Amino acid sequence: MFTCDFKDGVWQKPEITPYAPLTLDPSARVFHYGQAVFEGMKAYKDDNDDVWLFRPKDNLARINKSAERLAMPAFPEDVFMDGLKALINLDKDWVKPGFGNSLYIRPFVIATEPAIAASPAVEYKFLIICSPAQSYYSGDVRVLVAEQFSRSANGGVGYAKAAGNYAAQFYPTNLANQEGFQQIIWTDADKHEYLEEAGTMNVFFRINDTLVTAPTSERILDGITRKSIIQIAQDSGITVDVRPVKVTEIVEASKNGSLKEIFGSGTAAVVSPISAFSHKGELFEIPKQDKRYSDTFKEKLNGIQYNKTEDPYGWRESI
Amino acid sequence: MFTCDFKDGVWQKPEITPYAPLTLDPSARVFHYGQAVFEGMKAYKDDNDDVWLFRPKDNLARINKSAERLAMPAFPEDVFMDGLKALINLDKDWVKPGFGNSLYIRPFVIATEPAIAASPAVEYKFLIICSPAQSYYSGDVRVLVAEQFSRSANGGVGYAKAAGNYAAQFYPTNLANQEGFQQIIWTDADKHEYLEEAGTMNVFFRINDTLVTAPTSERILDGITRKSIIQIAQDSGITVDVRPVKVTEIVEASKNGSLKEIFGSGTAAVVSPISAFSHKGELFEIPKQDKRYSDTFKEKLNGIQYNKTEDPYGWRESI
C-alpha cells in the first residue's frame, strides 16, 4: 500500500509498504467528524501483459476537489502519479488479463489528528490500496425513484466523493431492497422532480435515439465514466442532451414507448443497464433492445481500457 | 475507554481498558463510506464530590436514532448505562468540581469491517472516551446567515449526529471565519429562507419576551439542551414558539428593535449568545440586554447539572 502523511502543513515523504492495519487514536477526527474522501479506479492488463490506467489524473483532480469541499489539503499530482505507478508495478501480477478482470485501486484520504473538536484536522493520511476485481453479472437491475429520501442538497457535498455521502444512502437502499429493488434513482431533495443519480452511479436515459443525462452540479458527481460516455456517444453521432431530467418526462417516455434504455455509469461496472423502475407505486419495464447503446459504450470503453483499440482521446496511460 | 464490538449479528462482551490506539484494516468501512455516529455528553461534580450525568438515556436514544439512519445496529441501553457509569467511576478524579468544569464524554460507533463495497458493514465498534473540559469564554460570537452553502436536505441525515454532517460544515465555516464570523446560521437548502441551526448548535431567538426556535425535523438535530431549555422556559412562564423561523422575520425584528437575543444551545457551552448576524452583506447587531434569557437558562440548567438545585424533571442521574 502507498501512504503519505500530512503534518506541519506539508505532505511528508511517501512510502510503499506491505498491506498492514492502521493504528489511529480513538479521537482521530475521521471517526468523529467524517473528514474522509476517496476515489475508485482500475488497472487493466492487455494481451502483452502491459498494464494500463484510465484517466488517472482525473481521479486525482477529483479527490482534490472533494478534499477542498471538506477543508482537507490537496495532494500533489506528481507524487500521486509516481506512487500509483510504482505501486501498480509492484502489484502487477495481481492484474489478471481478460475483459472484466482488473485491479481495483482505492486512493483515499482520512483525517488522523487526534482531537475532539469540530474543526478541520491539521494531520491527514493519503493512502492507495488495491484489490483484484472480476467482472460480475449483477442480474436485472430494478430501481426505485426516490420520493422521500434524498442524497444531497444544493450547497452541500453531493458532488464530492465524501465518505458520509455513502453511509447516508444505505438505509434508504435497504428499504428499496426489501421491496425488490436493487438501487435507488436519487431525485432532487426539494420536490423529487428531477432524476439525478442511480445508486452510486451517474444515470443515462435513451429516449428514441437521443441520450439524456443530468448536468453535473453541486449535487451530482462529475463521473469519469459519465464524461467518457458522453464523449464517445457524441463522436459516434449520437445526440447527447445534458440537461435536467424530469421524472414525469421519463414516465411519459416509458408510456409512449420512446424510452429505450436506462443505465448507470461508473468505474466498477462501466455501465449497469436498468430493466425497470418504480415511481409512486407504479412499475415501468424497459423493453429489451436488440442493440443497446449501453453495450456499445461498454465495448468501446473496454477497448480503450484494455488496449484493444486505438485511443484517440489519450485516456489510456501506461504504467 | 469503553469498547464493545458488534460481530455475527450481536454486540459482544463490552470491556473497559486503558486508553489506547485502535488498530483497523485500511479497508475498514468507516474510512470509505462514513458509517460513524457519535454523541457529546458531560459528567458534573457537586460539592460533595458526587458525580452526575444529565439525561444520559436521551443520548443513547439519539445515537441509536442516528445509527438507524446510517444502517448501523442499535446499542442496548442497559449495557450503555452500566458501561458509562463504570467508566466514569474509574475516571472520577478527572471530573473537577466547580461551574464550568466537567468531564466531556464522547460515545461513538464506527464501522470496522474491512471491505471495499458500498453497503452497510456487518462489524462495528462502540466506544466511549472521555476528556476533562473547562468552561471557556468564546468572546462575542458573530454569525453569518447561510445563503449559498447548506447543512442538510429534506430526506437526508441532518437530524443524525453523523460524522459526515460535520466535515461538510468545515469549508463554509472557514470562509465565514475569513470574513470575521465565528459560525454560520444554517438555512434550508432550498431557498435559504428559514433559520435552522447555528454552527453545530440549535438556535433560539428572543423576540420581545417570546422565545422562538425551529421545530426539529429531518434536517434539524433534536438537541437535548434545546429541549431542556424549551421545558425550563415554559415552566418559567415564557412563551415558547416552536415554528419555522423566517430570515426576513428576524431581520425585521432586528430593525424594529423587538429582537432581544439570539443564542445557540448545545452540550459544550449550554448556551452561546450571539452578538451580531450578517445577512446578504448587511450586519445586524443585537443590543446588550440587562437580564438575558440565555443567562437564566444556563444558570438553571447548570444548577440541575451540578446538583445545586432541585431537579423537578428527573434529568440528573447519579453515577
- Specify if A313 maps to a domain: no
Q: Which of A31, A69, A189 sits opposite B171 (nearest CB)?
A: A69
Percentage of chain A lying above the pLDDT 90 cut:
95
The count of other CB atoms within 10 Å of the CB of residue B157 is 26
Q: What pLDDT score was predicted for residue A135?
A: 76
> Same domain, yes or no, for B64 and B128?
yes
Mutation for A interface: B102, B112, B124, B154, most A CBs within 10 A: B154
Phi, psi of A224 (to 5 degrees): -75, -40
Q: Residue B313 falls within a domain, yes or no?
A: no
Say if the Cβ atoms of B167 and A34 lie within 8 Å.
yes
pLDDT of amino acid A289: 87
Looking at the domain assignment, is residue A316 inside a domain? Answer: no
Whether residue B213 sits in one domain with residue B64: no
pLDDT of residue B91: 96
- Reply yes or no on whether the pLDDT at B139 is more than 80: no
Which has the minimum average pLDDT: A139-148, A259-268, B103-112?
A139-148
Residue A263 lies in a domain: yes
Question: Confidence class of residue A138 from pLDDT cuts 50, 70 and 90?
Answer: low
Taking only the tens place, the pLDDT of each residue in B237-254 is 999 999 999 999 999 999
- In this structure, the answer to whether residues A169 and A187 fall within a common structural domain is yes
Domain co-membership, B247 together with B283: yes
**Residues B113, B194: one domain?**
no
Average pLDDT, chain A: 96
Q: Specify whether B234 is located in the same domain as B111.
A: no
> Is the CB of A32 less than 8 angstroms away from the CB of B71?
no
Which pLDDT score, from 0 to 100, does residue A139 have? 72
Band of pLDDT at residue B138, cut at 50, 70 and 90: low
> pLDDT tens for residues A47-75?
999 999 999 999 999 999 999 999 999 99
Structural domain including A61 reads 2-135
User: Is the CB of A26 less than 8 angstroms away from the CB of B21?
Assistant: yes
The CATH code of the domain that includes B7 is: 3.30.470.10
- Same domain (yes/no): B13, B129: yes
On whether both B166 and B296 belong to a single domain, the answer is: yes
In a domain, residue A180? The reply is: yes
Residue that finishes a domain, picked among B104, B135, B166:
B135
* H/E element, A275: strand A270-279
Q: How far apart are CA B303 and CA B270, in angstroms?
A: 12
> pLDDT value at position B283?
98
The span from the CA of A87 to the CA of A106, in Å, is 12
Cβ neighbors of A45 (< 8 A, separation 6 or more) are: A51, A52, A95, A96, A97, A98, A101, A102, A306
Q: Is residue A122 part of a domain?
A: yes
CATH number at residue B218: 3.20.10.10
d(C-alpha B153, C-alpha B151), whole Å? 7
What is the identity of the amino acid at A95?
Answer: V
Exposed e or buried b per residue across A232-243, where buried means at least 16 C-beta atoms within 10 angstroms of its C-beta:
bbeeeebebeee
Residue A278 falls within a domain, yes or no?
yes
**pLDDT averaged over every residue in chain B:** 96
Question: Do B220 and B295 fall within a single domain?
Answer: yes
Residue where one domain finishes, among candidates B83, B109, B135:
B135
**DSSP letter at B92?**
G
Asked if the interface predicted TM-score (ipTM) of this complex is over 0.95, the answer is yes
What is the reported pLDDT for A19?
Answer: 98
Say if residue B116 is in the same domain as residue B248: no
Residues A103 and A251 in one domain: no
- Number of domains observed in the structure of chain A: 2
Contacts of B120 in chain A (CB under 8 A): 170, 174
**pLDDT recorded at residue A49:** 96
* Percent of chain A whose predicted confidence (pLDDT) is above 70: 99
In a domain, A317, yes or no: no
User: Of A97, A114, A135, which closes a domain?
Assistant: A135
Q: B266-306, pLDDT tens digit by residue?
A: 998 899 999 999 999 999 999 998 899 999 999 999 999 99
Asked whether residue A140 carries a pLDDT value surpassing 80, the answer given is no
Question: Parallel, antiparallel, or unpaired: how do β-strands B36-38 and B22-24 relate?
Answer: unpaired
Of A21, A28, A166, the CB nearest to B34: A166
Q: Where are the alpha helices (DSSP H) in A114-200?
A: 163-178
In the predicted model, is pLDDT for residue B135 greater than 90?
no
List pLDDT tens digits, range B47-91: 999 999 999 999 999 999 999 999 999 999 999 999 999 999 999
Picking from A26, A104, A108, the nearest residue to B31 by CB comes out as A108
10 Å Cβ neighbour count for A159?
19
Do B296 and B156 fall into the same domain?
yes
- Count contacts between A and B (CB, < 8 Å): 206
